[in-house]
Amino acid sequence: MLKIAVCGLGTVGKSFVDHFIKYQDLISKNCGQEIEIAIIADRSIDKKKFNHDSIEFSSDILSVIDSDCNLIIELIGGCEIALQLVKKAIQNKKSVITANKALIAEHGDELFELSKKNKVYLGFEAAVAGAVPIINSLTHNMLNENILSISGIVNGTCNYILDQMSSDNKDFSEALKNAKELGYAEADPTFDIGGFDAAHKISILAMLAYNIKSPYKNMHIEGIESIETMDIDYATELGYKIKHIALAKRTNSQIECRAHPVLIHQTNILSNIDGVMNAVSTRGDRFGTSLLYGHGAGGDATASAVVSNISDYCNFSHKDLDRYSKKDTNDELVNVMNINDICSQYYLRIFANDVPGVMAEVTSTLASHKISIEAVTQHEPLKDDKLIPIVMITNSVSYKSILSSINTIESLDNISGKINLIRVFNDND
Ligand code: HSE
């Protein structure tokens, strides 16, 4: 009999318990052994919500380590009590399944080593893109492939908000409120809209694809806070949609790892990933491009990924842990490329006084920084405003060049406020 302890009874915890109980017989049959939830631990547990005599309830999370459960399912989130629990569990030879992306992105290097040393299973399929089986793909199906790049829409909340702003004309705060009500957003939604959740997820994928230590602390992260409805409208006129993308890519002997909004051409399949849906596109030098699509947020999608790890655990051999072992720090592939050196096309939205010669001033400043313009549109002043919005798409230039040029443009007399700068997604990534 395999006894499971479930720690954390929030949205995902409740969905997991419901899912497990409903399919307990099937899960046990497919895993070749009887499996039961023996303990549920949560600091503010409401026992009345459950009517399962066989399950013990505890408000002392760490107590599960001394129980006779062999598998601990961590659904608490964050890196405080969750980290303490997971480390202690592994040190006590308990296997762990977690949905916690922050935990794996920020402490995965240590936890992989610890699980290898103690020969216990550590599953985290639910940590990236919910029901999209990208962890399994990278650690099994694509294990022997040379991965050139991974790019994906991995934050359901950002995707939902941008989609609502684009197709339903909702404003940012209303769309965020809906995302929270639907259970997509993190407890602190600044993790979603600030890009940190997507950054955690792409860090995990980069660790697996490139066999490197977590790039999280060295990667570039931007959220969607500066995207306004007018940017979505102007992008649409130019044939693009705005999405929040996370990307990891091998460039020469370095790894690019970043999470930020992009203009993505409407002909690119990722531009059609709408609502809360996630998609991860992986490119290999032999297999070409593979696209995985599915629900990336919400209790049921995440719980389903946790359940998939139970079967994995039942077939686990400690040799599998070599899949996560890292090359040493001298390896040429551990360097995360500095964002200043990464080249991209850019969308610029500039507010200017409607006076003769202003466009020439902007274009000559860009030219003096060796930046050329691939598309430009000038718009009517916004309501109650005399300023005219100018929208440009540049050629591919380094981040440091574009920053330096927009600093100069912002200092021109006829330019007002900050320029909004958004990268244009390269279809070859
Ligand atoms: N808040 C996350 C999202 C949930 O919106 O994608 C899944 O990690």
- Residue 192 sits in the same domain as residue 269: yes
Residue 73, domain extent? 2-123
Q: What is the mean pLDDT of the chain?
A: 93
The set of catalytic residues is 201
| 315 within a domain of the structure (yes/no) | no
| 396 within a domain of the structure (yes/no) | yes
- The CATH number covering residue 249 comes to 3.30.360.10
- Residue 362 sits in the same domain as residue 233: no
Domain count, the chain: 3
Q: Which atom of ligand 1 is nearest to the CA of 185?
A: 1
Q: Which of 186, 202, 280 to mutate to test the pocket of ligand 1 (most atoms within 8 A of CB)?
A: 186
Q: What is the CA angle 281-204-35, rounded to 5?
A: 100
CA–centroid distance, 166 to ligand 1, in Å, is 20
- Residue 165 sits in the same domain as residue 270: yes
CA–centroid distance, 97 to ligand 1, in Å, is 18
Q: Which atom of ligand 1 is nearest to the CA of 191?
A: 1
Residue 127 to residues 135, 293, 297, Cα–Cα distance (Å): 9, 15, 10
Closest to 397 measured CA to CA, from 379, 422, 371, 423: 371
| 322 within a domain of the structure (yes/no) | no
- Residue 46 sits in the same domain as residue 163: no
- Residue 150 sits in the same domain as residue 234: yes
Q: Does position 330 have pLDDT exceeding 70, yes or no?
A: no
The pLDDT value recorded for residue 425 is 97
Q: Does position 49 have pLDDT exceeding 70, yes or no?
A: no
| 298 within a domain of the structure (yes/no) | no
> Tokens 């409805």 appear where?
229
Taking each helix axis from N to C end, the angle separating 229-237 and 156-167, rounded to the nearest 10 degrees, works out to: 70
- Residue 141 sits in the same domain as residue 289: yes
Question: With bands split at pLDDT 50, 70 and 90, how would you rate the model's confidence at 122?
Answer: very high
Q: Does position 367 have pLDDT exceeding 90, yes or no?
A: yes
What is the average pLDDT across 159-185? 91
- Residue 175 sits in the same domain as residue 36: no
Please state whether the predicted TM-score (pTM) of the whole model is above 0.75. Answer: yes
Q: Does position 327 have pLDDT exceeding 70, yes or no?
A: no
- Residue 354 sits in the same domain as residue 375: yes
- Residue 78 sits in the same domain as residue 220: no
